[in-house]
Amino acid sequence: MMNVIEFFRNLPKKQCSSCGNVIQEQADCYSNLCDECNSPAR
């Protein structure tokens, strides 16, 4: 039987469509941009 938790852990992380950085899980609700590219203060 497959371990569901391991399955989700092995999912590929999202990457920023702008710079290619790995996007943190908390940014899942945002677009495909990392915190740096998505930061309005930049």
Q: What does the binding site for Zn ion look like in residue numbers (CB under 5 A)?
A: 16, 18-19, 21, 34, 37
Cβ nearer to Zn ion, comparing 6 with 28: 28
Least distance from Zn ion to the Cβ atom of residue 19, Å: 3
DSSP-assigned states of every residue in the chain: ---HHHHHHTSPPPB-TTT-PBPPGGGGGS-S--HHHH-TT-
Cβ nearer to Zn ion, comparing 21 with 27: 21
Least distance from Zn ion to the Cβ atom of residue 1, Å: 38
- Residue 21: closest CA among 42, 38, 8, 40: 38
